[in-house]
């Protein structure tokens, strides 16, 4: 007993003798004005832009409540700052200390599988985040000599996207559409499909309902996707300052893995709310409003964020950050201010259309308006081969279908095109949380483009599709595995695949007889 | 054009610098007349405030605050004054003493927007944080 006591006393003595305290000179200011999450501070003459500030409650000595803030406006004799967190305790006359460092978040392996707030603090109740490193949230994007063109694909597992609007590692692809038509669903499917694809995922929720995020986290956990995913959450009830820094914090966490040469997928859901939060802060800080009351630098707000997505060349580690920003439009108005800004920044967009959605074509991807500026460079050879004509055929079908509504007399060629198109539309339908591997996608598109589906009734296509996958898995003689491995359609594989699909067709009884 | 208190104070400082007492009196009389003519009498308190800031800045005067647990004797105050002069690089220091029991021991020096906390309280707090780790 006494030995433990001695040990403790010894330890304490050691600690106290090791303890050195020096009086350090600190810069302090005084709060002159607070309200709506921002504070005006006098003093703090040598504070840096976006430096962290600590607000201390001078009145209450017993509980030292410190709240952090960021200096955003440096004026002649005052500093405008946003308060990160609860600002209700801050009074006029409170002391503000500058901490001599730019706002940072903890990064590292410790954040994987966690739900954190934009300051990197845990909010999932699984204990504090272990990390050795901090990264500044604002960072200038990698320069041109460090980059290389995008070549490797990100398999989203969504047929319509992987075939027609391929996304590459290091690309920035915008997902745009009205509310409630499956923008987040595409992003979540993409995360789920990254299992075993050597990809870390970061999902940044900006101004989302916490119930929705809880649902998403549950879905990701069930799919085993939280093993490589971090969720950065700034909820709808969080102050605008947290919403504003959330995507930058997520980006800083992604850059840690980039520096290690890994591939990261980051989703910003959604940047419309981010712009709104920034507008709120800017107006409160009395910056002059511009179009739609957004401040003059909203473009830079998003361009500097999305420019941090990159594909590095081998000399710089070869890592990549793929960004999937989401923008919500009002009644399909893509010509509004923020949507046009982000469209011009990104390398293409996936446009989701309400009409398609309500017709039951889900995911409601509009093939005509959606583009990927990286294009087929980000597809495996096999997919390139089968998907080359798909976009064209899908677009032609839509035009013909509108035209054919009026006349009943059609020539054989047009009829054939229409029939093919109907089947394509059926193939592009896909359930949520059901991403498809690339070899299966290749096999169904192969069947469609080779005309093997032409005598399968349109209403039976979905049934046929899932039956075909099962058949190819069980009796395919490893043809799916070969496609996945070789990544191209050799003559050998083409022949084998054709025979196997025809074999399966012989087992079904709903084929149209000639 | 609207004239701000800062502009008034600046003008006043520049017109009295390098003048003797008699001239300063004339300048001030004239200045007050100008202020009255412009209907700016209500701004006079702000002008004085700004003038003090400008004066202190130009003449190298620093206002400081010394907070201690007990009343300090003159020798220590003198020492602290010269220390503050050295720290701030000012020519002259106007120090105000304050007694606050919460400091426990040592002193806290405040000047400009800088704080030098050498109190016993902050050291005990730091030790507490260190041990809690």
Contact between chains at B130 and A19 (C-beta distance less than 8 A) = yes
Residue B100 has pLDDT above 90, yes or no: no
Place of tokens 């002649």: A76
Q: Do B116 and A26 touch (CB under 8 A)?
A: yes
pLDDT at site A334? 93
Is A28's CB within 8 Å of B122's CB?
no
- Domains of chain B plus CATH, in order, are 5-58 (no CATH), 60-132 (3.40.30)
Distant-in-sequence, close-in-space partners of B73: CB < 8 Å, separation ≥ 6: none
Average pLDDT over residues B36-59: 89
Q: Where does chain A hold its CATH 3.40.50.300 domain(s)? A: 106-379
Return the residue matching tokens 């706002």. Answer: A103
Residues of B in contact with A12 (CB under 8 A): 131
For the record, the structure tokens of A480 come out as 């799916």
Query: Would you tell me how many other CB atoms lie within 10 Å of the CB of residue A432?
Result: 16
B102 contacts chain A (CB < 8 A):
yes
CA neighbor of B119 nearest in space, from B108, B109, B130: B108
C-alpha–C-alpha distance, residues B72 and B67, integer Å: 10
- State how far Cα A48 lies from the chain centre: 31
Q: Does A513 touch chain B (CB under 8 A)?
A: no
CATH number assigned to the domain covering A28-101: 2.40.30.20
Residue A1 pLDDT greater than 70, yes or no = no
The predicted-structure confidence for B1-44, as pLDDT tens digits, reads as follows 788 898 999 999 998 888 888 888 999 999 999 999 999 899 89
Angstrom distance (rounded) from CA B78 to CA B131: 36
- The fraction of chain A above a pLDDT of 70, given in percent, is 97
More confident residue, A391 or A62: A391
What's the pLDDT score for residue A395? Answer: 80
Cite the active site residues of A: 373
Mean pLDDT of A165-188: 95
Contacts of B114 in chain A (CB under 8 A): 25-28
CATH class of the domain comprising A385-507: mainly alpha
As a whole-number percent, the residues of chain A with pLDDT over 90 amount to: 69
pLDDT, residue A340, reads 96
Element of type H or E holding A54 = strand A51-56
Say if the Cβ atoms of A24 and B117 lie within 8 Å: yes
> What residue ranges of chain A are covered by domains with CATH 2.40.30.20?
28-101
B114 inside 8 A of chain A by CB = yes
Q: Is the pLDDT of residue A130 over 80?
A: yes
Distance of CA A94 to the CA centre of its chain: 39
Domain A106-379 is of which CATH architecture? 3-Layer(aba) Sandwich (3.40)
Which residues of A are less than 8 Å from B122 in CB distance? 21, 23
Does B102 contact A21 at a Cβ distance shorter than 8 Å?
no
Average pLDDT of the residues in A446-452: 90
Residue with the larger pLDDT of the pair B58 and A436: A436
Number of CB atoms found within 10 A of residue A78's CB:
16
pLDDT band at A472 (very low <50, low <70, confident <90, very high): very high
Quick check: B112 contacting A, CB < 8 Å?
yes
In this prediction, residues A445-466 reach a mean pLDDT of 91
pLDDT of res. B22: 87
Residue by residue, DSSP assigns B33-98 as HHHHHTT-GGGHHHHHHHHHHHHHHHHTEEEEEEEESSPPPHHHHHHHHHHHHHHHT-SEEEEEEE
Cα separation of the two ends of chain B: 61
Q: Which stretch of DSSP H or E encloses residue A317?
A: none
Q: Which of A21, A26, A61 sits opposite B114 (nearest CB)?
A: A26
Which residues in chain A are contacts of B117 at CB distance < 8 A?
23-24, 26
Are the C-beta atoms of B69 and B100 separated by less than 8 Å?
yes
Residues of chain B positioned with their CB less than 8 A from the CB of A43: 112-113
pLDDT at A457: 92
Residue labelled with tokens 């040469």:
A261
Cβ-based neighbour number of residue A177 at 10 Å: 27
Residue A58: pLDDT over 70: no
Given this model, what pLDDT does residue A19 score?
A: 72
Nearest chain A alpha carbon to B128: A16
DSSP β-ladder status, A348-351 and A371-372: antiparallel
Cα separation, A207 vs A270, whole angstroms:
8
Nearest residue, CB atoms, A15 vs list B116, B122, B130: B130
- Cβ-in-10-Å burial (0-12, 13-18, 19+) of A94 comes to buried
Specify the higher pLDDT residue, A12 or A362: A362
Mutation to test the B interface, candidates A21, A44, A96, most B Cβ within 10 Å:
A21
Are B113 and A28 inside 8 Å of each other by CB? yes
The two beta strands, A133-136 and A320-328, are: unpaired
Query: How many C-beta neighbours within 10 Å does residue A125 have?
Result: 6
The answer, yes or no, to whether the previous bond of A283 is cis (omega within 30 of 0) is no
For residue A65, what are the CA distances in angstroms to A209, A488, B124?
Answer: 28, 62, 18
**Can you tell me which residue has the tokens 């009196």?**
B25
Q: What are phi and psi of A198, to 5 degrees?
A: 65, 50
Q: pLDDT band at A112, cuts 50/70/90? A: very high
Chain-wide mean pLDDT for chain A? 91
Residue B133 is predicted with a pLDDT of 66
Tokens of A202: 């970061």
- Give backbone dihedrals phi and psi of A98, rounded to 5 degrees, phi first: -95, 140
8 Å CB contact of A24 and B131? no
């Amino acid at each position: 007993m006494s030995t433990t006591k001695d040990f403790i006393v010894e330890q304490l003595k050691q600690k106290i003798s090791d303890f050195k305290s020096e009086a350090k000179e600190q810069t302090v200011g005084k709060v002159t004005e607070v309200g709506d999450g921002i504070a005006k501070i006098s003093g703090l003459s040598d504070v840096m832009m976006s430096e962290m500030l600590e607000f201390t409650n001078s009145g209450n000595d017993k509980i030292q409540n410190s709240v952090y803030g960021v200096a955003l406006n440096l004026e002649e004799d005052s500093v405008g700052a946003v308060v990160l967190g609860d600002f209700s305790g801050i009074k006029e006359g409170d002391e503000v200390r500058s901490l001599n460092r730019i706002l940072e978040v903890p990064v590292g392996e410790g954040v994987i599988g966690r739900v954190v707030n934009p300051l990197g603090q845990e909010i999932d109740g699984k204990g504090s985040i272990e990390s050795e490193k901090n990264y500044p949230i604002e960072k200038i994007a990698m320069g041109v000599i460090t980059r290389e063109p995008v070549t490797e694909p990100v398999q989203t597992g969504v047929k319509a996207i992987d075939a027609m609007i391929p996304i590459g590692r290091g690309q920035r692809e915008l997902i745009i559409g009205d509310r409630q038509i499956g923008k987040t669903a595409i992003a979540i499917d993409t995360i789920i499909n990254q299992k075993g694809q050597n990809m870390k995922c970061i999902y940044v929720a900006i101004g989302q309902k916490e119930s929705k995020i809880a649902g998403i986290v549950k879905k990701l956990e069930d799919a085993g996707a939280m093993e490589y995913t971090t969720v950065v959450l700034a909820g709808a009830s969080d102050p605008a300052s947290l919403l504003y820094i959330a995507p930058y914090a997520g980006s800083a966490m992604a850059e840690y893995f980039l520096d290690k040469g890994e591939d990261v997928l980051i989703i910003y859901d959604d940047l419309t709310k981010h712009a709104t939060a920034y507008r709120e802060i800017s107006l409160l800080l009395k910056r002059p409003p511009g179009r739609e009351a957004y401040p003059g630098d909203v473009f830079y707000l998003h361009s500097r964020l999305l420019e941090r997505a990159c594909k590095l060349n081998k000399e710089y580690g070869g890592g990549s950050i793929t960004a999937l920003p989401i923008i919500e439009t009002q009644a399909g108005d893509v010509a509004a201010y923020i949507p046009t800004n982000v469209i011009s920044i990104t390398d293409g967009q996936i446009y989701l259309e309400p009409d398609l959605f309500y017709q039951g074509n889900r995911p409601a991807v509009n093939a005509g308006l959606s583009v990927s500026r990286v294009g087929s460079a980000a597809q495996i050879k096999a997919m390139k081969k089968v998907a080359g004509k798909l976009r064209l055929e899908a677009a032609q079908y839509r035009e013909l279908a509108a035209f054919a509504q009026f006349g009943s007399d059609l020539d054989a060629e047009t009829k054939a095109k229409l029939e093919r198109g109907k089947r394509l539309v059926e193939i592009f339908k896909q359930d949520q949380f059901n991403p498809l591997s690339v070899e299966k996608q290749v096999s169904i598109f192969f069947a469609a483009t080779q005309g093997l589906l032409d005598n399968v009734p349109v209403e039976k296509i979905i049934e046929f599709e899932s039956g075909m996958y099962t058949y190819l898995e069980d009796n395919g003689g490893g043809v799916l595995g070969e496609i996945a491995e070789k990544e191209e359609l050799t003559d050998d594989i083409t022949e084998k695949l054709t025979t196997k699909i025809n074999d399966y067709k012989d087992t079904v009884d709903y084929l149209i007889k000639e | 054009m609207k004239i701000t208190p800062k502009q008034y104070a600046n003008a006043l400082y520049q017109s009295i610098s390098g003048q003797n007492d008699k001239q300063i009196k004339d300048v001030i009389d004239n200045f007050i007349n100008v202020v009255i003519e412009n209907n700016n009498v209500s701004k006079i308190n702000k002008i004085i405030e700004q003038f003090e800031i400008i004066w202190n800045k130009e003449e190298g005067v620093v206002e400081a605050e010394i907070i201690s647990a007990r009343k300090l004797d003159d020798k220590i105050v003198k020492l602290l004054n010269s220390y503050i002069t050295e720290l701030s690089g000012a020519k002259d220091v106007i120090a105000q003493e304050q007694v606050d029991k919460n400091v426990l021991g040592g002193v806290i020096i405040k000047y400009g927007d800088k704080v030098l906390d050498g109190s016993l309280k902050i050291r005990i707090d730091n030790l507490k944080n260190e041990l809690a780790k």
